[in-house]
Structure 1
Amino acid sequence: MQFLPGQWVDLYPPQDTGITKPGGFTITSAPSLASHSSSNPYVELAIQHSPDNPVAAYLFRPVEQLLRTPVSVRIGGSFVFPPPLAGPAPLRRVVFVAGGMGINPMMSMLSHIAEPGMWREEDRVRFRDLEVRLLYSVKDPVVSVATDAASGGNDGGVAGGGRSRGGSDRDVVDSRGVLFLDRIAELFGTGRLKGGVQLFLTGGGGGRPLPTTEGPTPPRVFARCDAGDVPVLKRRITVRDVGEAIGSDKDSTVVYICGVPTMTDEFVQALVSPDDFGMEKNRVLFEKWW
C-alpha cells in the first residue's frame, strides 16, 4: 500500500456487512510502516467512535470480529508532504498549524520528516537541515493541572529540542488528554525533528483552571510528556503566532494549515495577501475540517 504523508483513505467494509458507502479516515502513520521492507507492514487510521457512522461503528466491533476480515481502501488527498513546489529551491522551514483533529494528517507528515533515511535522494538533498514548527490548538482537552515548584532542569522544553523537568512556579498539564502530543514530543525531544512545538489550549479541562497566558509576561505553563515538556498558551492561535513561526525567510518556508474553516480561511487569507505576509500561494497548503 503506497501513499503520501497527509493522505486519507475511503474504506469499504466487507460486502456481507451490507454497508455500501465508504468511510473516510486520515492515515496517521508514516508511509515506511506500510512498505514491504517493514517486518510487519501496517497503516494507522484516525477513527473517532461514532455509532451513527456505519463504517466507524463497524470498525469499533470487538477485535475478534475484525481480525483477518477483508476491507478495500482507496487512497486520496492532495494535502501532502513533500509540498508540490516547482523548481530546485531548497526548503528550510515547514510550519504546521493544526486545529483539533487537524493534527491527524500532520502526524503522518511529522513522522515521515523524522526519518530522512526513507526519503527519495532528491528530497534528502533539497530538504536537509529542515526546521519544523508546529502550532497545535486543542479545544476542551481532558487534562489535569498541578504546580511544579522543583528546582533545576531545562525550561526550554521540547520547543527548543531540550528536556524540561524543573523550574519554579510552573503549571503542569497532563498531556494524556491531547491527541498525539506524547508522540510529537518524542520526535522533537529526541532530536529526530529539528524545531519545536507550541500547544494552545482553548478550553478548560479537569482540575483547577489554567492561568491566563496573555500579557507581556505570561506565567509558564507546560504539558508534561515523557520526552520533555511542551510549552502551553491558554488562548487561540493568532495570525501573529503563525508569522513568528514563519520568521523572515518566507521564500524558503512552506505552511500547512488544517482545522475548522473559519481558522483556515483567516490564516490562508492573511498569509497570501500582498498587503499582509505576501507568501506565494503554492507555499500555503490547507485542508478544512467541517
Structure 2
Amino acid sequence: MATKEGHLERTAHEPRDSSLHKVVITRIDQINPSIRLFRLTIPDHGSIHFKPGQWLDVYCPGISKAGGFTITSPPSLARPHPRPHHDPTQPTPDVVIQLEEGYLELAIQKSPENPAAHYLWQLEPALLDSELELILYVRVGGSFVFPPKPAPTTTPLRKVVFVAGGVGINPLISMLSHIHDQEFPVGVQLLYSVKHPEPDNIETDKVLFLDRIAALFGPGSLRGTAHLFLTGESSVNSQGDKEIAGILPIGVSLSRRRINISDIERILYNAEERKSAVVYICGVPSMTDEFVHKLTAPVSDGGLGMEKERVLFEKWW
C-alpha cells in the first residue's frame, strides 16, 4: 500500500518564505466536535507578512515534520492593531485605544493520523491559564492567494465568486475578511457547502465561520451574498431555500443540497460577466476537479468557457 503523502511532500513545488517565526498559542476555541480554532500570537509586538489564502508550515515540539494548516485570519491582524478598551472603574468611562498583539488564526480539523493536528488537539484550553508557554514555529507558504497573481488579463476585476466545501472555507474566509478590510470595489458571492448531521435541526454556531460570514455580508459590508448548502442524510431529496433562523437580517440563504455548477452559472450568467470575474474553489479533490473542468471547458463542450487564469483552486485532503 502506498504511503499517503504528507503536507511537505504535497507542497514541495509551492513558494515558501525562508524565515521561521516563533508564535505562542494563546487561545483555543472548540467550534464543533471536529474543528478547533487556534490563535497563534506573535510575541514582542512583532508581525508576520502573508497574503490571504496562504498556509503555514507548523513545527510542533517532538514532531520532525511540519504540519500544514491554512491561515484563516486576515493579514491586518498579523501585526499590532488597535483594540477599543473601556475602563469601567472611571466615573465617565472613555474609550481608550490599546494595541493588541498581532496573531494568526488556524482552524484545525481533528485528525489522529496527522501528527501535527494530533499534537494540537491534545492540548487542553486549561493549559493557557498556566505559566507554561505553548510555543510553535511557523513558516508562510502557498500560491492560492487574493488578489490573484498575476492579474488575469487587463479586464478590470468586478466580481469574485468563492466556492467552499467543508474546511475548504479556511483560505476563503481570510480572503473575504481582507476584501472587507481593504474595501476592494468588487462584488462578492460565496457558495459554502457543509456536511451537517441534522440539516433539519441547524445549530448555526456549530457551522465553521458562519457568524463571521454573516457579519461580513451584513448591511454596509461586502457587496454580495452568501449561500450555505447543508448536506446530510435528510437533505438528499430536499431543495428548499430559506433564511437561517437567528440571523435573518443578514441575508445568508440556505439550501439543503450540494452545490452544483448551475449555482455558479446563475452568478456568472453571460460571457461579459465571466470576463471580469474570478472564481476561487477550495474543497475535496473530486468537487474541485469537477467545477474547474466545467468552468474552463469550451462552451461548445457544455462548459462556461472561462479563462484558466480566472479559475483558481486548492484541494484539501
Work out whether the TM-score is over 0.5: yes
Does residue 1:282 correspond to 2:309, yes or no?
yes
Decide whether the 8 Å contact of 2:226 with 2:251 is kept in 1. Answer: no
**What does 1:9-88 align with in structure 2 at a 5 Å threshold?**
9-13=56-60, 17-37=61-81, 39-40=99-100, 41-60=102-121, 61-63=123-125, 65=127, 68-84=133-149, 85-88=151-154
Give the deviation of 1:48 after TM superposition. 1.8
Pair 1:27–1:131, CA change in 2 (3 A): same
Give the deviation of 1:177 after TM superposition. 2.7
TM-score of the superposed pair, with normalisation by structure 1: 0.76
- SS of the aligned residue for 1:114 comes to helix
Pair 1:12–1:213, CA change in 2 (3 A): same
CA-based RMSD of the aligned residues comes to 2.2
Partner of 2:297: 273
Pair 1:57–1:283, CA change in 2 (3 A): same
Decide whether the 8 Å contact of 2:188 with 2:225 is kept in 1. Answer: yes
Cα offsets for 1:230-251 (capped at 9, x unmatched): 2211111111111112232101
The structure whose residues are more often strand, as a share, is 2
Give the deviation of 1:50 after TM superposition. 2.9
Give the deviation of 1:175 after TM superposition. 1.5
Decide whether the 8 Å contact of 1:33 with 1:42 is kept in 2. Answer: yes
Partner of 1:165: none
Give the deviation of 1:72 after TM superposition. 1.2
Identity %: 53
Question: Which runs of no fewer than 5 residues in structure 2 stay unpaired?
Answer: 1-47, 83-98
Cα offsets for 1:21-63 (capped at 9, x unmatched): 1111110000000024452211101112334433223223134
- Kindly tell me the number of residue pairs found equivalent between the two proteins: 242
Does residue 1:174 correspond to 2:203, yes or no?
yes
Instruction: Give the Cα–Cα distance (whole angstroms) in 2 for the partners of residues 192 and 220 of structure 1.
Output: 23
Partner of 2:53: 6
What is the letter of the counterpart of residue 22 of structure 1? A
Partner of 2:3: none
Give the deviation of 1:115 after TM superposition. 1.1
Does residue 1:263 correspond to 2:263, yes or no?
no
Instruction: Give the Cα–Cα distance (whole angstroms) in 2 for the partners of residues 133 and 289 of structure 1.
Output: 21
Cα offsets for 1:217-261 (capped at 9, x unmatched): xx4433234453522111111111111122321010000011111
Moved more, 55-64 or 104-113: 55-64
